[in-house]
């Protein structure tokens, strides 16, 4: 676990927004700005995608990121790499200690396969992302751009035999992760509505996002 606190104060942020449980957030972050996701009540999962704001075909790549840092977990010091090998953002502070990028996002299909046929219509991260890009076409994102993601605050340990498990969270109320943008990026978050596994303690809760100027 790598804990690194930030000196930034929420009152100094030039942008703040609470994202309710199960809702989405889409926004442009300029190069040099610092972006924080705050887990307001604890044990929440924020399923997040990043894109080059001017060319969404360049996007966050978990393969490039984990290969470059030689670690499957994300924490302070992690540089989030694009599929073209460019730094998108760097995690500059983190009071949770570890974030997942292997587990993927919940979807109607995975809820049906993993849990039950009657979970098909439950809200899911993938549906929230699709709703966001449909309502906000000014960001230029399409279905093909929805690929692998980061699950901030989510606890998905790799087991000794190489498997993955969705475990009870390690985050708590007031914990946060903070990232500095290395280029103009679009951020797309689904504040996970999942009710079938303990990724958010079976109780989805709001998060808050904040941005500080360069």
Question: How many residues does the structure list for the chain?
Answer: 214
- When asked if residue 133 is in the footprint of Zn ion (CB under 5 A), the reply is no
In terms of CB distance, is 82 or 194 closer to Zn ion?
Answer: 194
Number of residues counted as binding Zn ion (CB under 5 A): 4
Sheet with 34-39, edge to edge strand ranges: 15-19, 207-212, 34-39, 175-181, 87-94, 79-81
Nearer to Zn ion, 186 or 194 (CB): 194
Pairing label, strands 207-212, 15-19: antiparallel
User: Per CB under 5 A, does 19 bind Zn ion?
Assistant: no
Paired sense of beta strands 34-39 and 175-181, if any: antiparallel
Select from 46, 81, 92, 125 the one that contacts Zn ion (CB under 5 A). Answer: 125
Site mask for Zn ion (CB under 5 A), range 84-123, x = bound:
----------------------x-----------------
Q: Is 210 in the site for Zn ion (CB under 5 A)?
A: no
User: Nearest distance from residue 176's CB to Zn ion, in Å?
Assistant: 19
Smallest distance from Zn ion to CB 106, Å: 3
Of 178-197, binders to Zn ion (CB under 5 A) are 192, 194
Q: What is the largest CA-CA distance in the chain?
A: 48
Phi, psi at 67, each rounded to 5°: -65, -45
Contact status: 76 vs Zn ion (CB under 5 A): no
Q: Is 211 in the site for Zn ion (CB under 5 A)?
A: no
The C-alpha atoms of residue 174 and residue 73 are separated, in whole angstroms, by 21
Residue nearer to Zn ion on the CB measure, 34 or 194: 194
The answer to whether 154 contacts Zn ion (rule: CB under 5 A) is no
Least distance in angstroms from the C-beta of 62 to Zn ion = 16
110-120: b (≥16 Cβ within 10 Å) or e: bbeeebeeebe
Is residue 49 close enough to count as binding Zn ion by CB under 5 A? no
- Give me the residues that bind Zn ion (CB under 5 A), please: 106, 125, 192, 194
């Amino acid at each position: 676990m790598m804990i690194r606190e930030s000196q930034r104060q929420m009152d100094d942020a030039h942008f703040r927004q609470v994202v309710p449980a199960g809702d989405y957030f889409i926004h442009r972050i300029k190069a040099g700005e610092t972006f924080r996701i705050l887990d307001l009540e604890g044990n929440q999962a924020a399923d997040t995608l990043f894109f080059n704001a001017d060319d969404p075909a360049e996007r966050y790549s978990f393969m490039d990121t984990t290969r470059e840092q030689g670690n499957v977990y994300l924490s302070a010091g992690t540089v989030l790499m694009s599929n073209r090998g460019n730094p998108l953002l760097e995690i500059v502070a983190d009071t949770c200690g570890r974030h997942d990028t292997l587990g993927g996002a919940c979807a109607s299909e995975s809820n049906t396969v993993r849990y039950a046929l009657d979970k098909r219509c439950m809200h899911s991260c993938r549906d929230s992302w699709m709703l966001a890009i449909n309502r906000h076409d000014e960001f230029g994102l399409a279905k093909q751009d929805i690929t692998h993601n980061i699950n901030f605050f989510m606890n998905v340990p790799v087991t000794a035999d190489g498997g993955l498990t969705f475990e009870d969270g390690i985050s708590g109320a007031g914990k946060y992760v903070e990232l500095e943008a290395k280029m103009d990026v679009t951020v797309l978050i689904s504040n996970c509505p999942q009710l079938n596994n303990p990724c958010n303690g079976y109780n989805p809760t709001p998060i808050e996002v904040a941005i500080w100027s360069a």
